[in-house]
Structure 1
């Protein structure tokens, strides 16, 4: 069981990480749905800035991951890494990815930047977040109603 010091430390790390993520999203302009929609508009006025933001994030993350994180036996604030053992690409994964992509493409924003933009009290972002939370509740109810089933294969296996 964690003591109070460990709980406070993990909460502070979460706060700092979330703050850095939010600041990065705001500074890069990725909380603006027009920027995201511009990236998705490959036949019109394509805006490649999202690609550069993601590339910049990977350029910072990958060396740290390869040199530090990958060599660790456990995360800083937990007893062990909690990675999925499911390497099967199934109907549930594909369906969820399609729904996520449709929502991202229609709204022009994904959940991280949407949560980041709450502080601006933009009514469309608040509606997006409410709809996202409703979707999560509906998905949870559906999983509870129909139970957890074995993944149905769609013919592809992911490798780690």
Structure 2
């Protein structure tokens, strides 16, 4: 129960940060990518702030022998850059640039009842399902959910 409540609180804090920063507004996000037009650099500060908080948080957390609510840290073991990573990153960037939503911004936007967020999340879920199906068909191990 403690893990569920802590996940809920973390999700609420994350969603509030996304909402306050304006990342649930596709127009603001698209303006960030519009260097030749109505460029809005404010999201660069949001990303920089998130990077700084994450860097400090990881430094402090990894000094502990284990997480507060688990028996061990679960860190990625793969370090290489491969085609699935490159393709996924490219699709993420293209989708973010076209729709103005990323997964982190689309979920809080659902709470506002935005139809565009609902369409984006439905397409994202369909894409995840399609990628898993393609991996299974190709015989490649599926990444953990």
Same fold (TM over 0.5): yes
- For residue 94 of structure 2, the aligned residue among 87, 91, 102 is 102
SS of 1:120's equivalent?
Answer: coil
- For residue 14 of structure 2, the aligned residue among 21, 26, 32 is 21
The ranges of structure 1 where at least 4 consecutive aligned residues each deviate by more than 6 angstroms after the TM superposition are none
Tell me whether 1:124 sits opposite 2:116 in the alignment: yes
Structure number with the higher strand fraction is 1
1:95–1:59 CA distance, 2 compared to 1 (3 A): closer
1:31 maps to: 24
**Under a length normalisation based on structure 1, what TM-score does the superposition of the two structures give?**
0.83
- Max radius of gyration: which structure? 1
The one-character-per-residue Cα deviations of 1:117-141 (angstroms, maximum 9, x if unpaired) are: 1111111110101000000110111
Which runs of 5 or more residues in structure 2 are unaligned?
none
CA distance in 2 between partners of 1:54 and 1:125 (Å): 21
1:91 maps to: 83
Which runs of 5 or more residues in structure 1 are unaligned?
1-7, 150-160
Matches within 5 A, 1:9-158: 9-66=2-59, 68-148=60-140
The one-character-per-residue Cα deviations of 1:78-108 (angstroms, maximum 9, x if unpaired) are: 1111122111101111111111111111101
The one-character-per-residue Cα deviations of 1:44-67 (angstroms, maximum 9, x if unpaired) are: 22101101112222333333332x
- How many residues in Structure 1 have an aligned counterpart in Structure 2? 141
CA distance in 1 between partners of 2:109 and 2:78 (Å): 33
**Under a length normalisation based on structure 2, what TM-score does the superposition of the two structures give?**
0.91
SS of 1:15's equivalent?
Answer: helix
